[in-house]
Amino acid sequence: MAHESAPSGFLLTTYEKAVNWTRTRSMWAATFGLACCAIEMMATGAAHNDLARFGMEVFRASPRQADLMIVAGRVSQKMGPVLRQVYDQMAEPKWVISMGACASSGGMFNNYAIIQGVDEVVPVDIYVPGCPPGPQSLLHGILTLQDKVMAGEIRR
Amino acid sequence: MTDGITSDQILGPLAAAFPDVEFRQVNDPPQDVALVAHGQYRDFVAAAREAGFDFFVDLCGVDYLRRQPRFEVVLNLLSHVHVRRLRIRVGVPGSEPTIASITGIFPGADFYEREAYDLFGIGFDGHPDLTRIVLPDDWEGHPLRKDYSVGSVPVRFKGSPRAQ
Amino acid sequence: MSDTPNVVTGDFETPTVEPPEEQAGSSPTGATRREMRSIWVAGTEETAWMRNSTDEGAQEMLEASVDPAIQAERGIPVEDDFLETEATDNDELQILNMGPQHPSTHGVLRLHLELDGETIVRVKPIIGYLHTGMEKTGETLTFLQGGTNVTRMDYLSPLHMELAYSLAVESLLGIEIPERAQAIRVLMTELNRVSSHLIWVATQGADIGAVSMLIYGWREREYVLQFFEKVTGLRMNHNFIRPGGVAADLPDGWEDDVENLLDVVPKGVSEYEELLNENPIFRDRTIGVGVITPDECKALGVTGANARASGIEWDLRKAFPYSGIDKYEFDVPLGKHGDVFDRYLVRMEEIRQSLRIVRQVLETIPAGDYRTTDRKVTPPPRKRIDESMEALIHHFKLFTSGFKVPAGETYQAVESPRGELGIYLVSDGRERPWRLHARTPSFAHVQALPTMMTGSLVADTIATIASIDPVLGDVDR
């Protein structure tokens, strides 16, 4: 599998590209919808903005079967350990999209109850701004993640 | 006893049974408020339920900080039969914030009293399970008290000299 | 069954071979192996698993009169230790944790289930996983900014939250709202009720197993959201209904959009009813499930469609009308049994009644101001700022420090899609609330879950949770 210590060369680079391509074309997300952003995430998967055409056919409830965790919504102090546990249960390679203002930075809730940015708990690859981000913004974020993985910028 | 309350068909008998309770009407359209003393709280709530206010709506706490008594528990009841609301306010001293629990009268007060305990530190005597509900179990302090800060953190901007 | 042969015999006539004696710890020597091979016939060797087999031999059908399975079905007592079940004692009760990350708990709700087999003995809901401290944040925001905060509590019906908040602030301010603003508020909140119930039926169907409902419900909701985006600028969490009126007037061409909605949504609702109403699986999973009686509703504070499905005839729009909603004609559907199916029927009918109100608003909306003209509360029109110094100062003061609200306390409630949604507001005469408390319906409904679930099966919990329409932002705030 492609990792940092793999030797480079024409055959292996093409192999890496093929692996990256397969990873992006069937990235299944774990259901981690918390608040308002979850509704827009579900709307992105629904009829008008169809996520399935980009390979994200289903949202897996079990993190063990998922590649991508879209943290959609505000993460409270009580939910932080749960978030970390679900992230740890996912198998490599895994990616995290922080959807919305609350997940990216605490949003408008700069108070005692909300973790100010989910990147304090899990490593984040893509931040999607918005409150909530519309389906088109989330799609842009997912496609950017796919481009990054294809280009090899994110190596797992 | 407030003027004119005796003429009120529903609240009149209640006022007669509890002469120390002050009844007010606030705002327009008017809302009925009953200011009840600490010791009479549970009896008054039971009597209000008998008088027709049998729908439990809301129970919350308020922190008035520099007033005596410091805290207040506000109970909101509704009567379907008479199509009326009643708001019951009872003061809770800050030095020893406990008050009777009304879960025996209205089982719906369960979660609400737990929330008032969690966020204000008001104890409820007779509550079956008075534990924290919205905050983690090991949280210290009661956030909605006025002497508890909102807990905001300074916003970090990339590249700013204060960025840690 | 001691007379069962332990070698499978076929049609061909072959000698049965006795396997050689197995000596413990030694394998057959080359000579014995060759010996074994010379008298083997292919297909008759007995493999190890057959030697240790535990099957009961050839399965044959017993006579119907003596077959214990058929007798058990018919209720004739059968002596068979497999069919007897012992009562489980308390040591065997299993605790199952559902959530907080779960596809069917409608957010981050956690349930501790104590199970006896598949039956629920006790259930304890654990909430707080979405606690946002909104009541504390509300104390730090001005009354004009407060809408942005409360709108995110019940994020499926944000306009109702804003309306309750605005009504509370206006009640303390003592100002009158112009009729057009009231009509716009009714239009937006009734459409919000439609979009919220569409999500509800989508998730209810999906939780029960009709997964295609997820796509159907969101399909119709998109049209409503596109209308909201046109009017308010946002698909969700609009901050459109503000103290004093609404933020902006309806855009040109809104009548055509509403006509389109009134055309498309009822067709969709008819499709859902065709899919679900007579569906035997849906009916089996929802009729008689999650029952709550009217007395329990009153004691626990269950309101909205859940209470109406139990037979309580109570709708805040009829009992304590607000925002001029008593001008419009509409019916309030009632259920009888208080189960999941009745809640479904009540909500489907509520969608139709809300569209009825929307049609009446469309036909009778008056011309006029979309917000009050009291300059101490509402900002002046933008072009006046260039012309008048006073307008500029008003604008500046309103958006920096905010308007002051006279001291007092008030409770204002609206009928949100989930039930009675109230705001208890205490003001001390300054620009920020002293105490902002939201009486949210889902908090009481989650509290009522044990009453609805005890004694039922685990599968019924999913149907019950979906049917009370909880929104965890409402529950935890």
A132 within 8 A of A122, measured Cβ to Cβ: no
Tokens describing residue C8: 């499978």
Q: How far is B129 from chain A (nearest CA, A)?
A: 20
- Which residues of chain C make contact with A76, given a CB cutoff of 8 A? 128-132, 476
Rounded average pLDDT over B45-73: 90
Dist CA B91 CA B70 (whole Å): 7
Q: How far is C408 from chain A (nearest CA, A)?
A: 26
pLDDT of residue B24: 85
pLDDT bin (cut points 50, 70, 90) of residue C32 is very low
pLDDT bin (cut points 50, 70, 90) of residue C38 is very low
Question: B135 and A116: CB-CB below 8 Å?
Answer: no
Distances in Å between the alpha carbon of B125 and those of B42, B90, B113, B122, B129? 11, 15, 10, 10, 10
pLDDT bin (cut points 50, 70, 90) of residue B65 is confident
What is the chain C residue with the closest CA to A136?
Answer: C235
Rounded average pLDDT over C199-205: 91
Domain holding B62, by residue range, is: 2-125
What is the chain A residue with the closest CA to C108?
Answer: A34
Percent of chain B with pLDDT over 90: 31
Please tell me if residue A87 touches chain C, with a CB cutoff of 8 Å. Answer: no
pTM of the model: 0.84
DSSP per residue over C361-423, as a string?
HHHHPPPS-SB---TTTSPPPHHHHHH-HHHHHHHHHHHHT-----SEEEEEEEEETTEEEEE
pLDDT of residue A99: 92
A90 within 8 A of A64, measured Cβ to Cβ: yes
When mean pLDDT is compared across A91-100, C58-67, C178-187, the lowest value belongs to: C58-67
pLDDT of residue C34: 44
In sequence order, the β-bridge partners of residue C416 are C419
pLDDT of residue B27: 81
pLDDT digits (tens, 9 = 90+) for C115-157: 888 888 888 888 989 999 899 999 999 998 999 999 999 999 9
C312 burial (CB, 10 Å; 0-12 / 13-18 / 19+) is buried
User: C357: which residues sit within 8 A by CB, 6+ positions away?
Assistant: C186, C190, C325, C328, C330
Interface test with C, best of A84, A89, A109 (most C CBs within 10 A): A109
Which residue has better confidence, C8 or C352?
A: C352
Which residue has better confidence, C315 or C47?
A: C315
Q: If we measure between CA atoms, which residue out of A138, A50, A61 comes closest to residue A99?
A: A138
pLDDT bin (cut points 50, 70, 90) of residue C359 is very high
Does residue B155 form part of some domain? no
Sorted by where each begins, the domain ranges of chain C are: 20-91, 134-476
Can you give the CATH number for the domain in which B68 is found? 3.30.460.80
Please tell me if residue B67 touches chain C, with a CB cutoff of 8 Å. Answer: no
pLDDT of residue A52: 87
Question: B152 and A110: CB-CB below 8 Å?
Answer: yes
pLDDT bin (cut points 50, 70, 90) of residue A1 is very low
User: A141: which residues sit within 8 A by CB, 6+ positions away?
Assistant: A97, A99, A126, A127, A128, A133
Rounded average pLDDT over C74-101: 68
Rounded average pLDDT over A73-79: 90
H helices within C233-290, ranges in order?
A: 254-276, 280-286
Q: What's the structural domain count of chain B?
A: 1
pLDDT bin (cut points 50, 70, 90) of residue C477 is confident
Q: How far is B137 from chain C (nearest CA, A)?
A: 10
pLDDT of residue C260: 92
Does residue B148 form part of some domain? no
Question: A112 and B143: CB-CB below 8 Å?
Answer: yes
pLDDT of residue B20: 84
Rg (CA), chain C: 33
Rounded average pLDDT over C164-184: 92
Q: If we measure between CA atoms, which residue out of B85, B93, B87, B44 comes closest to residue B64?
A: B93
Q: How far is B45 from chain C (nearest CA, A)?
A: 13
C437: three-class secondary structure by DSSP: strand
C115: three-class secondary structure by DSSP: strand
Dist CA A146 CA A152 (whole Å): 10
pLDDT bin (cut points 50, 70, 90) of residue A2 is very low
Which residue has better confidence, C427 or B153?
A: C427
Nearest to C100 among A82, A108, A111 (CB): A82
- Which residues of chain B make contact with C300, given a CB cutoff of 8 A? 56, 107-108
Cis peptide before C19 (omega within 30 of 0): no
Q: How far is C144 from chain B (nearest CA, A)?
A: 19
Which residue has better confidence, C71 or A150?
A: A150
Does residue B131 form part of some domain? no
Interface test with A, best of C98, C102, C108 (most A CBs within 10 A): C108
Distances in Å between the alpha carbon of C161 and those of C339, C412, C475? 27, 11, 13
Q: How far is C126 from chain A (nearest CA, A)?
A: 11
Residue C291 half-sphere exposure toward CB, CA atoms < 13 A: 8
pLDDT at B84 over 50: yes
Rounded average pLDDT over C402-415: 91
Distances in Å between the alpha carbon of C178 and those of A88, C145, C182? 55, 21, 6
Dist CA C263 CA C355 (whole Å): 10
pLDDT digits (tens, 9 = 90+) for A85-120: 899 999 888 899 999 999 998 888 988 889 988 988
Q: Does domain C134-476 have CATH number 1.10.645.10?
A: yes
- Which residues of chain A make contact with C103, given a CB cutoff of 8 A? 31, 59, 61
C176 within 8 A of C255, measured Cβ to Cβ: no
pLDDT bin (cut points 50, 70, 90) of residue C42 is low
DSSP per residue over C449-468, as a string?
HHHHHTTSBHHHHHHHHHHT
- C-contacting chains (≥3 CB pairs under 8 Å): A, B
Does residue B162 form part of some domain? no
pLDDT at C471 over 80: yes
pLDDT at C23 over 80: no
Dist CA A122 CA A68 (whole Å): 12
Q: If we measure between CA atoms, which residue out of A19, A83, A78, A70 comes closest to residue A43?
A: A70
C204 within 8 A of C285, measured Cβ to Cβ: no
How does the average pLDDT of chain C come out, rounded? 83
Nearest to A78 among B135, B143, B153 (CB): B135
How does the average pLDDT of chain A come out, rounded? 85
- Look up the ipTM and state it: 0.90
Which residue has better confidence, B41 or C64?
A: B41
What is the chain C residue with the closest CA to A43?
Answer: C218
Q: If you search the block for the tokens 């093409």, which residue do you land on?
A: A14
pLDDT of residue C54: 52
Nearest to C426 among B62, B80, B136 (CB): B62
Percent of chain C with pLDDT over 90: 41
Does residue B27 form part of some domain? yes
